[in-house]
Structure 1
Amino acid sequence: MGPTDDTIRRLDEGLGEAALDPSRWGAVLAMVSGLVGGDGAMLLQSHQRAPGVPCTPEIDDLVADYFRHGWHMRDLRTRAVPRVMRGEVVTDHDILTGEEMARAPFYNELLVPHGYHWFAVAGFHAGAEHWAVSVQRKARRGPFAAEQVRPLAGLARRLGQAATLSEALGRAALDGTLRGLDQVAQAALALDGSGRIVGANARAEALLDAAFRISDGVLRVADPRARDEIAALAQALQSRRPFAAGPVLVPRPDRRPLVLRVLPLAEAARSPFLGASALLTITDLEAERRPDPTLLAQVFGLTAAEARLAAFLAAGASLEEAANALGIAVGTARSQIKAVFAKTGTGRQGALVALLGAPGLW
C-alpha cells in the first residue's frame, strides 16, 4: 500500500520547512525512509559527491565513514546512476549479483560493520543538478521488495521540488552576502564542503591573475607554501570537524601579499543543494585603504578640511605627502593637524593613525 493522503500532506509540510531551513532535511528523510521500510536515508549528488550531505541521524556514522575513508570514490552502487537518471527506482539486486556483494570491500568493510547492507535509490533534480535519495536498510531485515520501494519515485519528485526551491533561496542568500561584502570593500569567495569555489564577488574576481586564479572550481596559487595551506584548509572542510585556521599569506611578484581568512557561512546561505559552507575573505595589502572623511568629521567634530587630511594620514601618507595630494601648503597642514590632535585626544601622528584604524571608520 502506498503513502496515504495524510502522510503526503505531512511530508509536503516538512519539505516546505526544509526548503527554508536546511537543518530540517534530516526529519524529511526520516519520513521518506519510513514510508518505504528503510532504516535511514541520505541525499547524494549523482556525479560529484562531497561531505556535508543531509542524512538521518541513524546513519550519521556510516555517512561519515563513507566520505572519511574515500568510499565515495569507489562506490559500487554508482552503477545505478544511469538507470536512476532515467527515472527508475534501483535496488542492490538490480545492479549487483549476490556473489559480487559477498566479496565486495564496499559491503564487507563499510556497510556490514555498521549493520547495513541493502539500499533503494531514486533520482530528482535540484535546479540544474541531478541528485538521488538513497534509503539504507539493515542487513538482518533482508533486501527491499519491489512493491515496497515503488513509491520512492513519486517521493523523489516531491524532494526535487523542495530541493529546487532550497537551491534558489540559498543562491539568493549567498549572492546577497557576496554583494554585501563588495559594498564594504571586502573581496570574498564562497567554498563548498570540499573546498571548491561556488561563488565569488566582484572584488575577488578583480584580484585574479596568473599567480592567484580559479581553475575548474579550484583556487590555484603559484606559491608552494600557500598552495599547501590552501589544500590543508580544503581537507579540514571535507572532514567537517571544528578547526581554527589561521590566515594564509599568498606572496605575489613585485607586490604585497594577499591575506586569506576562512569564515563560517550564515545558515541561510548553506543550502545543501548549493553546497556553500564557508567564506574565504581576501585582503589585498597593496590596495590603498582610507577612512571615510565624512564619518571622521561626524565622529570627531572635524572640519571637512581637517577630516580629509586625517584620512590621508590614516592611510599612511606623511604630512608633506598629504598636503601635496590635497593641494595645500605644508604650513596649513600643520595647523590643521594640531586641531585634529586636539579634537581626537591624540598628541602625535602614530596615535592618530592607530585611533583612525578602528574597523568602523573604514
Structure 2
Amino acid sequence: MFDAGLIGDIYEAAAVPERWLAVLQSLAERMGAQGSNLIRIGPQGMAITSTDGVRAMTEAFMEQGFNAHNTRVGRLMERGAHPGFLTDSDLHTSQELATLPIYAQFLTPHRADAGAATLVQGAGDDGLILAVEGFSSHAASRTAARQLDSLRPHLARALALSAQLRMQRLSAAVGALELVSVAAAVIDPVGRIEAMNALFTQAMDHLLTQRAGALRALHPACDSQLRAAIMGLQAGSGNPGGASLPLRDAAGLARHALHLVPLRGAGHDAFDSAGAVIILASAGNPSVPGADLIRALFDLTPAEARVARAVAQGLSPTDIAQRHAASPATVRTQLKHVFAKTGVTRQSELAVLLASLRSPADADGAC
C-alpha cells in the first residue's frame, strides 16, 4: 500500500533531517492517525520531535509530568528485539489502558490512547522510537501496525542514517573550530558531551571532567556555576545569549574562560538536540585578571576591558582617562557599557566581581 514516492521521501529525509516532520505527518495521516513522534533515547535522556498533528498534545504531556511514568516507552524498550511495530494494546492489558494515569488522565481524554511504535538502533548507545499517535481505536492501531511493518525496513535504515549523519555533523563542527585553535565541545541539554576536539580533550585533564556522563568542572565553585548554567539550558530559563564563567585549575588559578553558547531553533529535535557549544578561552591571569580574560568573559571591547581592569586596580575614571590619553567623558561612557555587560551598577561592585577571578582561589571557594 506504500508507493515509491513515500519510500523516496523517507530516504530523502535521511539526508535532510528537516524533511522528517513533513514525511512522518503525511505517513500518520495516510494511516488514519493524528501525527507522529520521533524520540531519541539514550544515556543522556530523551529528545522528542513532534509533527504538527500532535505537537501541542505532546508538549502538554511533558509539561504535566506524565512522561515521568511513561510505561509506553519503558515497555517498548523492554521488547526492543521485536522487529516490528507494537501498539498500546500490545504493551498493556485492557485494565491498564483503563486505569493507568497516563491513559485515564491524559491519553484517553486526548484521543491518543491508541498508537503504534517501533524501536530502531540510532547512533552509539542511542535508540530511536517512531510512534504513530492517535488512531481512532485500538483495533485500527493494530491493523495499521501490520501495514507499517512492511515499511519498517525503510524507516529503520533511514532513521539510522540520519542519526549517523548527525554525529558526523557535530564532530565536523568541533573539528572546524580546532583548525582555528579553538578548544570546543558540543553538549546535549543535560550536559553530556556529544563531540569534542583534541584541544578540548587536552583541557579536560586539568579543568574539566565527566561524572555520570555529564560535563563537570574540577573546581567545586566553578562546577556549581557550570551546573547552574546547564540546568538553565535544560529548563529553557537561562540567558538566551548563553553564559561565561572562569575556570580554575587544580592550583586554584583562573586561567580560562568557559563560554556556553546555546544552540537555538529545534532545540529538542531528535536529530538536532545538541544543547550548546562549549568554548574554552585561555589567557594570562595575574593577581588582577588581564584585559584578555575580562574581555573573553564578558564580551567587552578592548577599550572596555582595559577600563574594567583599571577599575579593579582601584583607579578612578579620571585616573583611567589620564593613563590612556582619553577624555573622562569617553571613559565614563565605556564604563557604562561595562556595567551593562557585567550586570553591575557601581564601580565597587565591578571591583568585587573581578576580584572573584583573582588567583589563588579565595578562602570561601569562590569560582
Amino acid at match of 2:69: R
- Alignment partner of 1:53: what SS? strand
Contact 2:122-2:160 within 8 A present in 1 as well = yes
In 2, the alpha carbon distance for the partners of 1:206 and 1:229 equals 22
Q: Does 1:232 align with 2:263?
A: no
Task: Quote the offset at 1:188 in angstroms.
Answer: 0.9
1:276 alignment partner, SS class? coil
The aligned residue for residue 35 of structure 1 is: 30
Q: 1:288-311 deviations in whole A, cap 9, x for unaligned?
A: x9xxxxxxxxxxxxxxxxxxxxxx
Contact 1:50 1:238 in 2 (8 A): no
* Residue in structure 2 matched with residue 53 of structure 1 by the alignment: 48
Name the counterpart of 2:333.
none
Q: 1:155 aligns with which of 147, 151, 154?
A: 151
What is the rounded CA distance, in whole Å, between the counterparts of 2:264 and 2:231 in structure 1?
A: 21
Q: Deviations over 1:197-234 (max 9, x none)?
A: 10111111111136521234211124444333333333
CA distance in 1, matches of 2:95, 2:241: 46
Partner Cα distance (2:223, 2:81) in 1: 37
Q: Contact (CA 8 Å) 2:266, 2:272: kept in 1 or not?
A: no
Distance in 2 (alpha carbons) for counterparts of 1:210 and 1:101: 52
1:247 alignment partner, SS class: strand
TM-score by length of 1: 0.68
SS at match of 1:58: coil
Amino acid at match of 2:243: G
In structure 1, the residue matched to 2:247 is: 250
Letter in 2 for 1:130: G
- What amino acid sits opposite 1:40 in the alignment? G
Q: After superposition, what is the alpha-carbon deviation per residue over 1:315-342, rounded to whole angstroms, capped at 9, x for unaligned?
A: xxxxxxxxxxxxxxxxxxxxxxxxxxxx
Is 2:277 aligned against 1:279?
A: yes
Distance 2:69 2:30 in 1: 29
Aligned with residue 135 of structure 1, among 132, 135, 146: 132
Among 13, 17, 32, the residue aligned to 2:12:
17
Specify the alignment match of 1:355 in structure 2: none
Question: Within 2, Cα distance between the matches of 1:109 and 1:39?
Answer: 19
Maintained 8 Å contact 2:207/2:217 = yes
Tell me how many residue pairs correspond in the alignment: 288
- Which blocks of at least 5 consecutive residues in structure 1 are unaligned? 290-347, 352-362
Root mean square deviation of aligned Cα:
3.5
Per-residue deviation, residues 35-58 of structure 1 (Å, max 9, x unmatched): 332111111235557454222112
- Partner of residue 111 from structure 1, selected from 107, 111, 130: 107
Instruction: Write the distance in 2 (CA, Å) between the matches of 1:192 and 1:47.
Output: 11
**Counterpart contact for 1:32–1:155, Cα < 8 Å:** no
Tell me the residue number matched to 1:220: 216
Corresponding letter in the other structure for 1:133: L
2:118 paired residue number: 122
TM-superposed CA distance for 1:283, in Å, is 1.4
Relative to structure 1, the CA distance from residue 114 to residue 240 in structure 2 (aligned partners, 3 Å threshold; closer, same or farther) is farther
Task: Name the SS for the 1:261 alignment partner.
Answer: strand
Whole-Å Cα distance in 2 between the matches of residues 102 and 187 of structure 1? Answer: 53
SS at match of 2:118: strand
Correspondence for 1:102: 98
- Give the Cα–Cα distance (whole angstroms) in 2 for the partners of residues 206 and 214 of structure 1: 14
Match of 1:178 among 164, 174, 183: 174
CA contact (8 A) 2:17 2:271 kept: no
Alpha-carbon distance in 2 for matches of 1:155, 1:269 = 28
How far did residue 19 of structure 1 move? 2.3
Unaligned runs of 5+ in 2: 291-322, 327-367
Secondary structure, aligned partner of 1:85: coil
Paired with 1:274 and 1:95, the residues of 2 have a C-alpha distance of 29
Aligned to 1:86: 82
User: How far did residue 104 of structure 1 move?
Assistant: 1.6
1:26 corresponds in structure 2 to 21
CA distance in 2 between counterparts of 1:268 and 1:27 reads 15
Query: With structure 2 as the length reference, what TM-score do the two structures score?
Result: 0.67
The 8 Å contact of residues 49 and 269 in structure 2, kept in 1 or not, is answered as no
Change beyond 3 A, Cα 1:224–1:256: closer
The one-letter amino acid of 2:49's match is: P
Tell me whether 36-45 or 195-204 shows the greater mean CA deviation.
36-45
Partner of 1:190: helix, strand, or coil?
strand
State the SS of the aligned residue for 2:34: coil
1:64 aligns with 2:62: no
1:12-63 residue CA offsets vs partner (Å, 9 max, x unmatched): 2322332233222111111221233211111123555745422211221232
The alpha-carbon deviation at position 264 of structure 1 amounts to 4.5
Instruction: For 1:147 and 1:197, locate their aligned partners in 2 and report how far apart those are by CA, in whole Å.
Output: 41
How many Å separate the matches in 2 of 1:200 and 1:179? 8
Residue pair 1:44, 1:133 contacting (<8 A) in 2 also: yes
Given the superposition, is the C-alpha separation of residues 179 and 49 from structure 1 closer, same or farther in structure 2, using an over 3 Å criterion? closer
Contact 2:208 2:216 in 1 (8 A): yes
